[in-house]
Amino acid sequence: MITIREVAPDDADALALWTDQQRELAERYGEPDLVLETTFPTLIVSLVGYSDDEPVASAVLRWSPYHEAGAVELKRLYVKPEHRGHGHSRAIMGVAESHARRAGATRIVLETGDQQPEALALYERIGYDRITNYGEWKDEEGTFCYGRAIPTRVLIVNGTIGAGKTAVASGVLDALEDRGARAAFLDADALCQTVPDDPSDPYHQGLMFAAIDRIAPLYRHRGYGCVVVARVVEDADDRARWAKAFGDDVGAPEVVVARVTAPLEERRARIDAREPEGRWRDWAHARTIELDDSLDGLALDDVVVENAGRSARETAEELLAEIGW
């Protein structure tokens, strides 16, 4: 059992483990002049695993300089020889993969060689596939490269009119940007703004999903692994529709529905601030009550967060903490 900690890029324990790894690789491959890379300009996270406070394992995750946007590379995966056989490599890889998902990555890649049979067996056992060789060793005989796709993570920010779902969703994007994640924001309501109304498609839901089905693969192709959507979820089948739109041959996406709420008087004040007097304001005042009651009854949300008396960004930060993003 090990405890895995995130450490600084120049952490002494990490550097010592990397040096041990380099020494072992030099012996295995008969190349004593291997140069130890100790800086990673596109670093996402450096990890060290401890057993009884002894540093025994390491891993580094960085944005890949060799692949498409959204690809991350696993480096410096190492476990001290006397601590092998206890699942430490798999454990630290699991933590690295969690960081990759959190960063909005769409794929994780790595490079190894034929003199590391334990590593080859591990990667194949946990679902990594052989990919085209890359990097400085791509033309070297005995090089093996592996990769694994990371399904898209989709966050639907739900809420009645005036609850602040669009503002909070935008705040989520800002928070993800600040941590260096690759993320996209969709105001799905904007895809429904058409006239005249279509009686056969209430709230233009069918039109919206038809558009999303075509848009979603573009975000994946551009390497955005986290997608934040502002949209009411008033149909029990909507979660499956969002999963279908953002799903592809890499597996089902993670879809989280998070509802934001606010007191009626605050919702009314927000409506008044953005809607001119007239039928649209009157409609919104009536609809916010009706929709709020409907969402309460449906209870389709994974989490519910109050969005009142503070900034949308503060609500966004709480929401991200609640869903574990």
% of the chain residues with pLDDT over 70: 99
What is the pLDDT at residue 112?
A: 96
Give the SS3 label for residue 87.
coil
Query: Across residues 86-92, what is the average pLDDT?
Result: 96
Mean pLDDT of the chain: 95
d(CA 139, CA 132): 11
DSSP character string of 20-61 = HHHHHHHHHHT-TTPPPP---TTEEEEEEEEETTEEEEEEEE
Judge whether residue 220 has pLDDT over 70: yes
Segment among 53-57, 137-141, 147-151, 217-221 with least mean pLDDT: 137-141
Cβ proximity of 120 and 144 under 8 Å: yes
d(CA 164, CA 319): 13
Alpha helix ranges (H) inside 139-204 = 165-178
| Cα–Cα nearest to 18, from 50, 64, 68, 60 | 60
The 10s digit of each residue's pLDDT in 242-254 is 999 999 767 789 9
Quick one: angle between helices 205-221 and 238-246, nearest 10? 30
Dihedral over Cα of 93, 96, 100, 102: its sign? positive
Alpha helix ranges (H) inside 153-204 = 165-178
Confidence of residue 34 (pLDDT cuts 50, 70, 90): low
Q: Are strands 153-158 and 54-63 parallel, antiparallel or unpaired?
A: unpaired
What are the structural domains, with CATH classification, of the chain?
3-149 (3.40.630.30), 153-323 (3.40.50.300)
Cβ proximity of 64 and 103 under 8 Å: no
